Chain A
């Protein structure tokens, strides 16, 4: 177990290193020069003043040193405490760290329930569908429809139906414009109301995929040799189904790890459609205003998030599948 985790940890450290490096490289080699934009926005007539302003900004953002020095400085600032992610250009002069931390709770509040609930409910639904013909005939087509739906299209439908036709839920922002964030009933109520539609759009699309996958896996497991053997020895269907479900869960756990990246991108679109102030919306703003540091800061958080989730799933896998354990110790045949 210790060796396994050690090896996994090393792989994740390597992945993080590569990801951070690419993350640092991409905006720098992207076309567009944000400093020139900022200077030209100031509208200075005097070229000397413009040059001085350019130099000031380059110094401020640490762009006046050789490119390798910038790279080392980047790593250095990440490991300082508190980590210094630089200053945003889009929302100058607020630090990137503050902006990201401000947006993070909204994204997490949206993503974590959407990912986990869709996974749980989808698996339950799929397992049920594998069992009953009538359910199979309804769950399966609906699931195909849901999983083939683009996030933004479903989001727009939800805005139209839940927001405009029924008028039950607000379809934009995370809380009413006339409230300020505080710990009060009216604020939390407003937060919850605004949360429903974006959550549903993420939840429903992911749900379909899980249900289809689980149904197929359970049917496959129910036809496997160990299920047949249990049946031949007169085991009640309940026990056979329990075993099949447990075995079918294993690929679904891996799927959860893989799905995380997809859900994250879906989340960006969703936040844009609902104007929800999470990381996705922030990312869009960073890209449209060529804000290097904000972009880097957000992507860094996304990368770390995906890595942490994958690591957690690796540990869960060791716990649920004995083959991972024995396989790594070398099976004693």
Chain B
């Protein structure tokens, strides 16, 4: 049935005013799709992933709807959202290393959590052990405390727990950021495997690492300053990006076999605009090499070919 996000706006409430961290985001994730969300710090990708499951105390749902499998998620009602969490939409948080209660045995914590959600832990236990084995963990971790596990083991334990109830949407928020490169790859592949085994129906993989998400994602969405810049099938986005921001983002990645001693790796000069009082028009305007008069008007996010949408006047 898939996920439909329509014009979602989530602002942060601060003493100086609202920070428009997520400002009108519209997209769809099909069943079985792995969508990568890429962008630099402060582009709104973590705000997006939190918005879909649990707004924190400072976040305010300003407008827009999120529809998952035909039902609209009550984003602003923390209690009503509980019904959807874990079973319909689940998350692997950024802080997987510290996500488990340090003074509870992991198995006890899982039992108490599952029973509080009305799930029969005993019945689920064989499946839990099977999945732990799948990610290379022994069932003994259930009788251990989080302190007894390495960082990677904790991360895998959290991955198994978050997906245990077969949610239709899983959000993986910067799950690879704290890992070394070889483990990053393994984690990304495990996520894809979870989708293939239908532990999760669809997956939003949030990262700042385009090269990593390219390896597993079906589609990639690039965000800039709280808005969508471009969304396309992974191959198209990496090989034929249309938005100047995406183009620069891709060109700042190193390529295998190229020696960067002679040829400097291109970066994107400048920093994203502050979102407390963002400039009108295209938000990338100030850093964009192609900017022209029309960019003072805000470009719409339009589909230029099937499955490929861009928000740029030059791409239309």
Contacts and interface: CB of A to CB of B under 8 A. Distances in A.
Given A226-B101, A239-B112, A243-B104, A233 B86 contact: yes
A320 interface: yes
B208 interface: no
Nearest to A227: B101
Given A232-B53, A232-B91, A331-B148, A247 B112 contact: no
Interface stretch (A67-75, A135-143, A260-268, A321-329): A321-329
A225 B103 contact: no
A52 interface: no
Interface centre among A229, A231, A235, A327 (most CB of B within 10 A): A229
Interface string B78-111: 0001111111001101010011111111000000
Contacts of A332: 148
B117 interface: yes
B93 A225 contact: yes
Contacts of A312: none
Nearest to A329: B148
Nearest to A231: B54
Contacts of A224: 98
A333 B113 contact: no
Contacts of B145: 322-323, 326
B100 A226 contact: yes
Contacts of A229: 93, 95, 99-100, 158
A230 to B, nearest CB: 6
Contacts of A230: 101, 113
Contacts of A322: 102-103, 105, 145, 147
Nearest to B104: A243
Interface in B42-61: 53-54, 56
A246 interface: yes
Given A233-B86, A332-B148, A225 B99 contact: yes
Interface string B152-195: 00000010011000000000000000000000000000000000
B116 interface: yes
Say what secondary structure dominates the interface of chain A: helix
Contact of A321 (B53, B91, B103, B116): B103
B148 A326 contact: yes
Given A234-B82, A236-B116, A332-B148, A247 B101 contact: yes
Interface in A136-168: none
Interface string B125-165: 00000000000000000000101111000000010011000
B150 A239 contact: no
Contacts of A231: 54
A321 B105 CA distance: 11
A58 to B, nearest CB: 59
Contacts of B54: 228, 231-232
Contacts of B150: 333
Contacts of B93: 225, 228-229, 232
A233 B102 contact: no
Given A229-B93, A239-B113, A326-B145, A234 B85 contact: yes
A250 interface: yes
B141 to A, nearest CB: 11
B149 A250 contact: no
Given A233-B113, A234-B85, A235-B117, A323 B102 contact: yes
Contacts of A239: 112-113, 116
A232 B117 CA distance: 12
A118 B251 CA distance: 65
Nearest to B162: A233
In the A-B complex, the 4 residue pairs with the smallest Cβ-Cβ separation, listed nearest first, are A234-B85, A229-B99, A225-B98, A234-B82
27 contacts: A224-B98, A225-B93, A228-B95, A229-B99, A229-B158, A230-B101, A230-B113, A232-B53, A232-B90, A232-B93, A233-B85, A233-B86, A233-B90, A233-B91, A233-B162, A234-B82, A234-B84, A243-B101, A247-B102, A320-B103, A321-B103, A322-B103, A322-B147, A326-B145, A326-B147, A327-B147, A331-B148
